[in-house]
Amino acid sequence: MKPTFVALASIIGLTLLSQNVKAATLVGPGGAFQSWTASVLGPADTPTYGGPYWNNFSGDGPTDNIGWCLVGTGGCVIATPPGAIEYYGKSSGASVGSMNLVSNGSAITLSLLAQLTNQLGTTKNPGYNVFGWYQINPNGTIGAITTLWNSKTDAVGENVTFTPGPAGTSYGLFLENIQGNGLADYFWFMNSTDDYSAGPDKNPVDTTQHFAVFNNASTPGSPFYIGIDDTNNGNEDYNDMVIELVNVPEPLTVALFGSGLLLCGLLFWRRQPS
């Protein structure tokens, strides 16, 4: 095949993909994607805490917070770490109180990359986490809630695909931390103003955002990496569940891309000498 037609096929394919594969967007009051470097974490033998709101001491180990997960070092390990991609927060490093995702109309796939909750396998406080997503009503209240994973029964490497709604639909993710021995339940939402606790031993919930969202914001369609914390103590390490969120290409995208390649092939075939 002549290079001209190879190039033409590539251009058509990339053009179609760029027009049809759009990332879900993340919104929140005063929030934007902020850059950071691995130097924020400090050396492994004496980690540095503070700065970005998610860079806190981890009770699971000194190098186990979400930052170490992303750069592929320390005790929090995920299969293909993306590096120090931008986090969604404020220029001061503070968290965004209530944030949510907005659908582009296509399906999304969530993958469970890591679970470091220190409640699993314990006898004193054998708690566990329930993860899922929720719809947001037009008036901003939380609508239908769908459970996807349970930390007692679901393992790292599992994934699930669903469609949150038509383009423009707002939705979010939640984590319910069920304390062992019937003590209390904590409900953490990306819309953190809706956080609450229940059960006989419930406590007022802290005011910290329990979701840390990362994305290569300069590359459209890049996956979101989301660290979630289940503890009610205001010193979150965001590693109790680490999730990857990827947009699934729309069927129209795939069909048009294939059609473009077929058209190029036909043009090339017709121009061949008999």
| Per-residue model confidence as pLDDT tens digits over 103-134 | 999 999 999 999 987 665 555 657 899 999 99
Task: State the average pLDDT over residues 154-169.
Answer: 95
Q: Which residues, listed in sequence order, are joined to residue 201 by a DSSP beta bridge?
A: none
| Nearest partner of 264 among 42, 54, 70, 15, judged by Cα | 15
β-pairing, 128-136 vs 142-150, is antiparallel
Cβ within 8 Å of residue 49, ≥6 positions away:
42, 55, 56, 57
Query: Of 21-25, 83-87, 143-147, 159-163, which gets the smallest average pLDDT?
Result: 21-25
Amino acid letter, 140: G
Residue 252 reports pLDDT greater than 70? no
At residue 164, the pLDDT reads: 95
At 202, the pLDDT band (50, 70, 90 cuts) reads confident
Q: What are 125's two structure tokens?
A: 């406080």
At residue 179, the pLDDT reads: 84
Amino acid letter, 48: T
Residue 139 reports pLDDT greater than 90? yes
Q: What is the DSSP string of 233-269?
A: SS---S-SEEEEEEEPPPHHHHHHHHHHHHHHHHHHH
Q: Judge contact between 177 and 129, C-beta under 8 A.
A: yes
At residue 62, the pLDDT reads: 92
At residue 157, the pLDDT reads: 95
Which is more confidently placed, 246 or 12?
Answer: 246
3-class SS shares of the chain: helix, strand, coil, % to 5: 20, 30, 50
Domain positions in the chain are 3-20+252-270, 25-97+106-248
Residue 8 reports pLDDT greater than 80? no
| Nearest partner of 104 among 165, 18, 145, judged by Cα | 165
At 267, the pLDDT band (50, 70, 90 cuts) reads very low
The CA-atom distances, in angstroms, between 136 and each of 96, 99, 164, 168, 185 are 18, 11, 10, 11, 22
Q: What is the mean pLDDT of the chain?
A: 84
At residue 118, the pLDDT reads: 66
Q: Judge contact between 21 and 13, C-beta under 8 A.
A: no
Task: State the average pLDDT over residues 141-146.
Answer: 96
Residue 20 reports pLDDT greater than 50? no
Which is more confidently placed, 272 or 25?
Answer: 25
| Nearest partner of 101 among 131, 136, 67, judged by Cα | 136
Which is more confidently placed, 67 or 269?
Answer: 67
